[in-house]
Every structure is written in structure tokens, then in C-alpha cells.
A and B are shown apart, each in its own frame.
Chain A
Amino acid sequence: MAEPGFEITRESGHTIVRLSGNWTLTHLNSAPTLNSIDGPCLVDGSNLAGLDTSGAHRLMSMLRQSGARLENVQTRAMSPSVLQVWTLVADHQRLTEGVKSEKPQGLLYQIGLGAVEALQHLFGVTAFIGRVFTEWLSLFRKPAAFRIKEFTAQLEVVFVYAIPITIAMIFLLGVVFAYLLGVQAQKFGANIFVVDGVSAAVLREISPVIVAILVAGRSGAAITAQLGTMKVNEEIDALSVLGLSPYVVLVLPRILALLLAMPLLVFLGDIAGLLGGMLIAKSQLGIEFSQFWDRLDSVLKMQTLLLGLLKAPVFAVFIGLIACRMGLSVSRDARSVGVNTTSTVVQSIVAVIVLNAIFAVVFADVPI
């Protein structure tokens, strides 16, 4: 089919733009330019094969750029259907004139916006924690309101299904840590001290922190995505209208499930990590399982185990609060669900690392 084209003639004071070919979207390519037009202008459609809104728009932009005023442009020899398209576009193009794309705001604006958002975030977090706490207190007055089914279902998801991956991860970390320590210990002929090192590291740091990061990535993200999607579907509003508190029905069971699941996972992780260490101690350093066990019995202090298990519920509460808050603060679009889910994982992991550092300082006196 014919490419869009035009030729210009002058006829008794008028500039005639004689169109030819298909002025339709699929045929529009490079933009031809018109020389400047002065005086009245007439668009002739006798040779025109087709015109759609995109073609009409291109034509009108060309005419405008050449200095013609659209109000003064007349048409002739256009078929009724072409004329209708022409009029429709001419009517609506006027509305779009002078619209500018919004300019990106300056640095100062961005800093201000960031500060305001940070402040709002802080208020939001405070209000959320307060709300969760009061709803939790209200459960003591009405224990029957507690959703035991939701709680057990959540426990299954965050605890039972997380067992295989937790054991696998921490077992491998125990293996790697024991290997590294073993290489050093061998140099001094102090093979047996691998037991001291592995047990302290796994129980006090590796297991609680890795389990927390695992739970943040696994369950934290799932909680935010689920609550966020429920928010988008107005399910949260529906709960409130039915006289049910979303906090009691959704938030508390999730936080409490995490609270119970995390110490259990950490304990399983402790065992897996020690098993990994035992395996390497035997194969690399020739420490028999019984020797490893005796040494463990004499050097491992109860406080080390308890300190590791104490961290778990603290991490759990932070992960649960962050995940639920980010889920409930989703706005009503799909993008927001993604943004908040990412944010949950990032915030949770940062919180876990920072909290772990605080634990290290506060409990520096606990002998390893």
C-alpha cells in the first residue's frame, strides 16, 4: 500500500496540501516537514487512501509546526468517514495543547520528601506496635477470640515446612566452620579445641542468625505478600466490617506462630550444626564421635545454648511486626505488594543483624 505523502500547490491565495496514500499508524514512519505556510490553508483529500487518528494527529502537528492555525485550516474532497476522523481529532487535539510532562523535582525536594516519609514511617511503626500490643492485651479479657486454627495453620507453614531447609543449611555451615577451624587447630596440634569453637559459634551466633534470615526471607515475605494481596482485594476491610479485628484474626496468630517456631527452629539448627562439626572432626581431624561428645559435655556451658535460644523470640517478634505492618500498609495496586515484600525482607535482615550486634555487646560478659 501507498506510503503517506503530500504535495503543495498554490491556488488563488490558498495553500493547498494535497494528501495521498495511507495516513494510518502502520504507515507512519519518519516525520516529513512542511515549509512555512502563510495565509489560508486547504487540505485536499481527493487522493487520500485512508486516515486514522494517528495519521490525522501527525498531519495536524505538521500543519501547526509550519505556522498554520488549525482553526483556519479548511478541508475539501474528503469522504464522510475521513472527515469524521479529522473532526474528532481536531476537536480533541485542542485539549491536549500546552500539556507539558512533569519535570523531575530538585534535590532539596527529594531530601524533604525523604525526611517526611521517614517520619511518617516512624509514626506508622509506633502506632502499629501500640495497636498490636493493645489487641494482644484484649485477648486476655476475651481469650475465646484467639484464632487457634489460624495459629496452628501458620505454625505448620513457618515451622514444620521450614525444618528441612533449616537443618540442611545449618548442617552445611557447621561443616564449613569446623573445616576452617580444623585447619587452624591442626597447625598447633590442638585438634580437640575444634569442639569448643564449633559449639560456641553454632549455638551462639550461626544458628540464631541464619534461622532468622531464613525465616525473614521465607515467612516474612510470604506474610507481607499475603496480607498485601488481601488488602488489595478489600478482604481486610471486609473483616473489619464484619466486626472482626484484622489484628486479632491475622496479625497476632502470625506473630505468635513465629514466636514459637523460631526457638524450635534454632534448636534444630543447633543439633544440625553440631552434627556437621562432628562429621568433619572425625574425617579431617580423627576425633571420634565419643571424644567429641565428651569434650562437648565438659566445655559447652548452658548459657551459650540459652543465649542463642533467647535471641530467637526477639528476632521473631521483629520479623513478625515488620512483615505484618508492611503487609497492611500496602496501597491498592499490584506494584505496592512487590515493593512492600522486598522492603520486609530488607528491613527484617537489617533488624536481625543490628539486634545480633546489640546482643553481642550486652551479653559480652557471658563466658563463651
Chain B
Amino acid sequence: MSENVIEVDNIVTRLAGAVVHDGISLNIEKGKVTALIGGSGTGKSVLLKEIIGLLRPQSGKIRLFGEDVWAVDEARLMALRRRFGVLFQDGALFSSLTVEQNVALPLREHTRLPPAECLELARLKIAMAGLPVSAGSKMPSELSGGMRKRAALARALALDPELLFLDEPTSGLDPISARAFDRLIRLLSDSLGLTVFLVTHDLDTLLSMVDKIIVLAHGKVLGQGSVEDLKEIDDPWLQDYFSSRYSEEPV
């Protein structure tokens, strides 16, 4: 029995009067790559924000590494946050800092390493994220969309997290860059023993690198398991979703 890194228990969320989550429970196992899918407006990103402690749900419990995110004090929450990294959808790189400084920032703030070593480590993370070393001294505005995602990944990996959250990691990337990014995540997850939790729309990502898929619909967990398991579920959205890749064939 593997241990759970994230345990979400009966979450209820209402935003502006609308019920977004109506009793959601799910577990994320250590060392696995788990994807969260669902149609637009099913509250995937909202759930992600609740798990990382940015948005409080109306009721329910969320445990990260066994600790209740919404019951611990500020200091414990900060300690928890050091154990995971987040890749935001558009990278969210700080535009006034170079890529290197962006990656070195968490190291400078949260460790007592000398500045020179922080910078060296930052360069290592940049190389691990698959960027050329010359990208380190560039400003985020000088990077392309794919490079920005990689730079943001390097920053998410800066503190050697045990858990990585990815919000739509391949959105806005061309298919080749997207597959390369998938392979990179899988490689890092395997070699660093990372637990990865990602929100995605990308069917190819699901087919190529994900261990387990969780489907959200109508405020509930519709199903979870492998792609094969999910194809068995009788739900119009899910059926459309899995058949969408064949519908593009020439008539």
C-alpha cells in the first residue's frame, strides 16, 4: 500500500453563488503522475488552488503530506509550501528578474546557501528543464511560450520539491514541444521520485505519461483510473472527449 501525498475529503466550493464542487474526494499517491481532467468550468483550477492553499473551500478537508492545509497556522503552511512546486499556466515568471534570478529566488529566500551556489544551482535547474544555458541571462519577455514554461518548471523545481503541481503544462505549445515537455516531466518524475499532479486538456499527455486520471464533472468525481477504465464510463462529455482525436480524420 503506497502512501497518499494528497488527500481531498468531501470538498464543497461555492463561487459567486454557483456550486463548483459538491463533495469531492480524491487521493494522490506518492511517486505517481496523476492528471485531473474535466470540461471547462468544472473547477479543476479552483481545486488546484484549494490544494495549494490559495483559495479556501466552504467545507471539507484537504491534507497535504498528512497535514490539513486549511487548519495549520501560517508558519506550518509556509513549511508545507516549501515541499511542493507549482507551474502556473502562463509561467508567472517575475518580469523584472532574469530567468536565472527567477530560479534562484526561492533558493535565496528559503535556504542559507551562499549566493554563488544559488546561482549555480539555478543554472543546473535551467539545464534540467531543457533550456540552453544562454537563456539564463535573458528576461522572461525575451523568451518564447515554450521556453517560458520550461523556465517556470526550473523555478518550480528549485527547492527540490517532493510534489509538483502543473496547471495545463502543455497549453499554448505546439505538439512537438508539448510532447517534449511531457517526456521531460516523466523523466524528472521517474528520476527524482516526484509526485506530479497536473490539470490538463491534452489527450496526448494523458495517453503518453500519466499513471492515473481523475475526471471531474457536475461538481463530483466522475471516475478515476487509466484511460481504458475511463472509456468504460457512460458519460457524454467523456465519450466526446476520448473520441475527439479520431473525429479529425478526413471525410
Q: A residues bordering B, Cβ < 8 Å?
A: 24-26, 28-29, 31, 52-54, 57-58, 61, 81, 84-85, 87-89, 92-93, 95-96, 99, 101-102, 331-336
**In the complex, what distance in Å separates the CA atom of A348 from the CA atom of B236?**
60
Q: Which of B112, B126, B127 has the most CB of A within 10 A?
A: B127
CB-defined interface of B148-187 with A at 8 Å, one 1/0 digit per residue? Answer: 0000000001011000000000000000000000000001
Contact B113 A28 (CB under 8 A): yes
The reply on B136 being an interface residue by CB < 8 A is: yes
Enumerate chain A residues within 8 angstroms of B247, measured Cβ to Cβ. Answer: none
How many A-B residue pairs lie within 8 Å, measured between CB atoms? 73
- The residue in chain B whose Cβ has the minimal distance to the Cβ of A86 is B191
Q: List 22 A-B contacts (CB under 8 A).
A: A25-B111, A25-B159, A28-B111, A29-B112, A52-B192, A53-B121, A54-B121, A57-B121, A57-B124, A58-B117, A61-B117, A84-B192, A85-B191, A92-B128, A99-B133, A99-B136, A101-B119, A101-B137, A333-B96, A333-B140, A334-B96, A335-B95
Q: Which of A52, A58, A85, A92 has the most CB of B within 10 A?
A: A92
Contact A335 B96 (CB under 8 A): yes
Contact A95 B121 (CB under 8 A): no
Enumerate chain B residues within 8 angstroms of A88, measured Cβ to Cβ. Answer: 128, 187-188, 191-192
Enumerate chain B residues within 8 angstroms of A102, measured Cβ to Cβ. Answer: 137
The reply on B125 being an interface residue by CB < 8 A is: yes
Contact A53 B136 (CB under 8 A): no
The reply on B120 being an interface residue by CB < 8 A is: yes
Contact A92 B137 (CB under 8 A): no
- The residue in chain B whose Cβ has the minimal distance to the Cβ of A61 is B120
Provided the pairs A28-B111, A93-B124, A99-B136 are in contact, do residues A333 and B141 lie with their beta carbons within 8 angstroms?
A: yes
- The residue in chain B whose Cβ has the minimal distance to the Cβ of A338 is B96
Contact of B133 among A29, A84, A95 (CB under 8 A): A95
Contact A92 B191 (CB under 8 A): no
Chain A interface main SS type: helix
The reply on B209 being an interface residue by CB < 8 A is: no
The reply on B17 being an interface residue by CB < 8 A is: no
Enumerate chain B residues within 8 angstroms of A332, measured Cβ to Cβ. Answer: 141
Enumerate chain A residues within 8 angstroms of B141, measured Cβ to Cβ. Answer: 331-333
Enumerate chain B residues within 8 angstroms of A24, measured Cβ to Cβ. Answer: 160
Provided the pairs A28-B111, A92-B128 are in contact, do residues A52 and B160 lie with their beta carbons within 8 angstroms?
A: yes
Enumerate chain B residues within 8 angstroms of A58, measured Cβ to Cβ. Answer: 117
**In the complex, what distance in Å separates the CA atom of A334 from the CA atom of B160?**
28
Contact of A89 among B95, B117, B124 (CB under 8 A): B124
Contact B117 A92 (CB under 8 A): no
Enumerate chain B residues within 8 angstroms of A96, measured Cβ to Cβ. Answer: 120, 123-124, 126-127, 133
Contact of B124 among A26, A53, A334 (CB under 8 A): A53
Contact of B192 among A26, A61, A85 (CB under 8 A): A85
Chain A: minimal CB distance from B187 (Å) = 8
Contact A333 B123 (CB under 8 A): no
Q: A88-B128, A334-B95, A336-B95 are in contact. List 12 more A-B contacts (CB 8 A).
A: A28-B111, A28-B113, A53-B128, A53-B157, A57-B124, A81-B193, A84-B192, A88-B187, A88-B191, A92-B124, A96-B126, A331-B141
Using a CB-CB cutoff of 8 Å, which residues 63-89 of chain B contact chain A?
none
The reply on B139 being an interface residue by CB < 8 A is: yes
CB-defined interface of B122-146 with A at 8 Å, one 1/0 digit per residue? Answer: 0111111000010011011100000
Chain A: minimal CB distance from B125 (Å) = 7
Enumerate chain B residues within 8 angstroms of A31, measured Cβ to Cβ. Answer: 114, 117
Contact B111 A53 (CB under 8 A): no
Provided the pairs A31-B117, A88-B192 are in contact, do residues A99 and B123 lie with their beta carbons within 8 angstroms?
A: yes
Contact A53 B192 (CB under 8 A): yes
Chain A: minimal CB distance from B133 (Å) = 5
Chain B: minimal CB distance from A351 (Å) = 27
The reply on B190 being an interface residue by CB < 8 A is: yes
Chain B: minimal CB distance from A229 (Å) = 13
Enumerate chain A residues within 8 angstroms of B128, measured Cβ to Cβ. Answer: 53, 88-89, 92
**In the complex, what distance in Å separates the CA atom of A53 from the CA atom of B122?**
11
Provided the pairs A28-B111, A96-B133 are in contact, do residues A333 and B120 lie with their beta carbons within 8 angstroms?
A: no
- The residue in chain A whose Cβ has the minimal distance to the Cβ of B141 is A333
Contact A25 B124 (CB under 8 A): no
**In the complex, what distance in Å separates the CA atom of A326 from the CA atom of B141?**
18
**In the complex, what distance in Å separates the CA atom of A89 from the CA atom of B187?**
12
Enumerate chain B residues within 8 angstroms of A89, measured Cβ to Cβ. Answer: 124, 128
Enumerate chain A residues within 8 angstroms of B125, measured Cβ to Cβ. Answer: 53
- The residue in chain A whose Cβ has the minimal distance to the Cβ of B187 is A88
- Closest CB pairs A-B (n = 4): A333-B95, A84-B191, A52-B160, A96-B123
**In the complex, what distance in Å separates the CA atom of A58 from the CA atom of B119?**
12
Chain B: minimal CB distance from A247 (Å) = 25
Chain B: minimal CB distance from A65 (Å) = 12
Provided the pairs A25-B159, A53-B128, A54-B160 are in contact, do residues A87 and B191 lie with their beta carbons within 8 angstroms?
A: yes
Contact A95 B127 (CB under 8 A): yes
Chain B: minimal CB distance from A104 (Å) = 12
Chain B: minimal CB distance from A103 (Å) = 11
**In the complex, what distance in Å separates the CA atom of A334 from the CA atom of B97?**
11
Enumerate chain A residues within 8 angstroms of B136, measured Cβ to Cβ. Answer: 99
Chain B: minimal CB distance from A145 (Å) = 33
Contact of B139 among A52, A95, A333 (CB under 8 A): A333
Contact B160 A25 (CB under 8 A): yes
Enumerate chain B residues within 8 angstroms of A101, measured Cβ to Cβ. Answer: 119, 137
Using a CB-CB cutoff of 8 Å, which residues 2-41 of chain B contact chain A?
none
